[in-house]
Amino acid sequence: MHRKKEENENITADYTINGIDYKTELQLGIGLGVIIICVFIAIAVTPFLMSNVARFSLVGLAGTIVAGSFLYLKFIMNFIKNKVWTIKILDDRLYFNYGQKETIIPLSDILKIKNVGNSNVFRYLSFYTKNSVVKIRVGNGGFTPFSKEEDVSKLDQFFEELLPYINKNFNKKEAFVKPNQFSFKNMGVYVHKSEKIHYNIIERMGVTYYIVGLFICAGLFLSIVFSSVEILQSYSRYDKFPSELTFINFFFIMISLLIIYSIAVYLKISKHKKD
């Protein structure tokens, strides 16, 4: 729901927080992905570079990409003009302003709230209604250089202000993973009591399974890329495919790990269904 704020509305809390929205975060992610893909293409099509990369360890290349990603995000954030959220709690509604967009959501219209993140590093706070979604991204980590630590604290304070209303009108989703060092106070997904709670595949897997899955998929992707590079390199030099490929062996190891991981996830989800 979008409308101008009425002048006689009482503002019970007012916050100005440095951060970005989901659209900006997606654009940053796509830009970073394009850069990484271009790096791999350069490795694959440049014979001189291929000969060096063949002796370059996976750990070294991964470290270079991670460091380059940090620098890219830090650099590109200087060119983003809209980096401030204005958030106000009015009588019975929430007011959000980001850039040129103003959104006012009646508290009674909110169907779901997601408050997820990683300890004091970043917060992903989202409000869902039937017709609109507000997604706030705040973080002071290497991959989330959107804000300062104080902005993370401000967003937590804003959520604390809403907590009495949330506890009264919302049910919190069951956590399939025990609290750990990455969790923070009030972390979770809150669903309005009038709505039925559904769990998606990631929620049923739990944070640990999800992160392990990402690392396995990333390793599988790297093994495919380096296997292709080694095949092309060997074929261009000797006009034949190599008989033994280190990365091909690594590829089959990753496939085996992915199969084992998939079975473990299936058993975990099946167990929760029975419970």
Mean pLDDT across 37-47: 64
CA 257 → CA 204, 221, 252, distances in Å? 20, 13, 9
Return the pLDDT at 17.
Answer: 94
Does pLDDT of 247 surpass 60?
no
The 10s digit of each residue's pLDDT in 168-224 is 999 998 765 555 556 788 888 999 999 988 877 666 666 566 666 777 777 677 666
Mean pLDDT across 231-256: 59
Percent of the chain as helix, strand, coil, to the nearest 5 = 50, 20, 25
- Split at pLDDT 50, 70, 90, the class of 246 is low
Does pLDDT of 104 surpass 70?
yes
CB neighbours of residue 14 within 10 Å: 12
The C-alpha atoms of residue 22 and residue 207 are separated, in whole angstroms, by 21
Return the pLDDT at 86.
Answer: 95
CA 173 → CA 101, 130, 138, 270, 275, distances in Å? 31, 19, 23, 18, 15
The C-alpha atoms of residue 37 and residue 73 are separated, in whole angstroms, by 16
The C-alpha atoms of residue 120 and residue 66 are separated, in whole angstroms, by 21
